[in-house]
Structure 1
Amino acid sequence: MNRFAVNAALVLTISAALSSCVTTNADGVKQYSSRKTTVSGDRLKISRVAIVKRDCNMRTFAEMRVIDPPQHGKVDIVHEKVEGKFSGDYRLCTGKEVMGTVAYYTSQKGYIGRDKVVIRASSDDGIVRDYVSEINVVK
């Protein structure tokens, strides 16, 4: 397997594990959709991406940005340790904590209802993925 294909799999390994549906948007970008529930005002992890080397150390941070912001909350993007599921040559990295890029959603305090966020993640290999989170905010 060439370097490009291996690294492409790594970029989406962790976030795909959190997702329930994969489609392609009008721009040809793979889009991973998930539905989550959170308590109003609480912080919810909506997406995480780790890119590792063969020795399971971080290779680089994925770039994440909000392309469709929530109407009833905010998104914070941070670098922190994450635990991932990896496949193929990288399956030995599964369960190990590595540095990654993580997106968190927090609703406006007191808001109850539905919200939606679209995050775009890209790697230094040129791989781009969108992560759509439909969020049900409860009391």
Structure 2
Amino acid sequence: MNKILLKISAAILISTAVASCVTTNAEGIKQTTYTKNALSGEPTKIDWAVAVKGDCSARVIPELRVLQAPQHGTVDIVHEKLDGKFHGTYAKCTGKDVQGAAAYYTSKKGFTGTDKVVIRNSYKDGVVRDSVAEINVVK
């Protein structure tokens, strides 16, 4: 029973972004830097992207690609249903599952410390954003 509570607590801690900062990089692309926590050797969602229509269905599946790979692990990009958080006109879509793209980081087994990943989010309408995930890996 204690192992289950520990895993639930770890999952809540890991899914929480600790800090966030938005800047513009040298290419003029909006770049968001944030911190994530991950368990050593376990996949952790570090980034995701969705684009919706007015009816909350997927407009397109954005392209995610790794610009800077982690030094102490790997990143897998997958297409899956995601629960996006939307603002403005699309706020009504928050809480609805929409097909999108997600990036999962997995450290090398036994690694603890910090790692970093830079991911580019590209949309078919020409919008491009970069995400910089600074990852704290714990046991």
TM-score by length of 1: 0.85
Identity of aligned residues (%): 59
* 1:105 CA drift (Å): 0.2
> Structure 2, unaligned stretches of length 5 or more?
1-16
SS of 2:114's partner is: strand
Query: Whole-Å Cα distance in 2 between the matches of residues 86 and 113 of structure 1?
Result: 33
User: Does 1:105 find its partner at 2:105?
Assistant: yes
Is contact 2:61-2:101 (8 Å) kept? Answer: yes
Query: Whole-Å Cα distance in 2 between the matches of residues 82 and 53 of structure 1?
Result: 15
Q: 1:78 to 1:19 in 2, by over 3 A?
A: farther
Q: 1:68 to 1:80 in 2, by over 3 A?
A: same
* 1:42 CA drift (Å): 0.7
User: Does 1:117 find its partner at 2:117?
Assistant: yes
> Structure 1, unaligned stretches of length 5 or more?
1-16
Query: Whole-Å Cα distance in 1 between the matches of residues 42 and 112 of structure 2?
Result: 12
* 1:18 CA drift (Å): 8.8
Query: Whole-Å Cα distance in 2 between the matches of residues 107 and 125 of structure 1?
Result: 33
- Aligned residue in 1 for 2:41: 41
Q: How many residues align?
A: 123
Amino acid at match of 2:53: K
Structure with the greater alpha carbon radius of gyration: 2
SS of 1:75's partner is: strand
Q: 1:45 to 1:53 in 2, by over 3 A?
A: same
- Any idea what the Cα deviations from partners look like across 1:23-75, whole Å, max 9, x if unmatched? 00111110011101111001110001100110000011101100000000000
Query: Whole-Å Cα distance in 1 between the matches of residues 18 and 83 of structure 2?
Result: 12
Q: 1:117 to 1:75 in 2, by over 3 A?
A: same
Is contact 1:19-1:32 (8 Å) kept? Answer: no
Query: Whole-Å Cα distance in 2 between the matches of residues 77 and 18 of structure 1?
Result: 22
- Aligned residue in 2 for 1:71: 71
SS of 1:130's partner is: strand
SS of 1:126's partner is: coil
